[in-house]
């Protein structure tokens, strides 16, 4: 069974880009022990990536993309469990209102994939 794609693009709040970049650098430098999200603890994540996209017309955006096993709700619940400091990360984005609404926030920002390719 092929992994499922998840692609989220959300607007970063004005003035929060530098701090968000620092958080992403902390995640990158210590994936297993950073205080935000610990993807190595996920049993369902194949790949996960964050990037800050520069949109000169509309301001910076946060891209979160992942390939995962299982259904989306179960996967998002797992992310909540492995993300002790998720509020510090996602509160930098417009529309995020806290951990209890994380799944709804991600579902609303999920971009349908037109093409997913997997090498077999």
pLDDT at residue 120 greater than cutoff 70: no
- Per-residue pLDDT averaged across 72-87, rounded? 96
Of 98, 50, 49, 45, nearest to 74 (Cα)?
A: 45
Q: What angle do CA 48, 77, 25 make, to 5 degrees?
A: 35
pLDDT (0 to 100) of residue 116 = 62
pLDDT, averaged across the chain:
93
pLDDT at residue 34 greater than cutoff 70: yes
Q: How confident is the model at residue 2 (pLDDT cuts 50, 70, 90)?
A: confident
> DSSP labels for 1-13?
-PPEEEEEEEEBP
What are the structural domains, with CATH classification, of the chain? 4-109 (3.30.70)
Q: How confident is the model at residue 76 (pLDDT cuts 50, 70, 90)?
A: very high
- Per-residue pLDDT averaged across 67-74, rounded? 96
């Amino acid at each position: 069974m092929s992994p499922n794609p998840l692609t989220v693009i959300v607007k970063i709040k004005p003035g929060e880009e530098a701090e968000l970049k620092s958080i992403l650098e902390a995640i990158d430098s210590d994936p297993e022990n950073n205080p935000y999200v610990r993807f190595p603890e996920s049993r369902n994540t194949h790949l996960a990536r964050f990037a800050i996209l520069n949109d000169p017309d509309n301001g910076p955006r946060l891209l979160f993309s992942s390939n995962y096993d299982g259904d989306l709700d179960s996967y998002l619940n797992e992310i909540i469990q492995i993300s002790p400091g998720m509020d510090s990360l996602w509160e930098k984005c417009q529309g995020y209102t806290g951990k209890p609404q994380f799944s709804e926030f991600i579902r609303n920002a999920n971009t349908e994939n037109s093409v997913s390719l997997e090498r077999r």
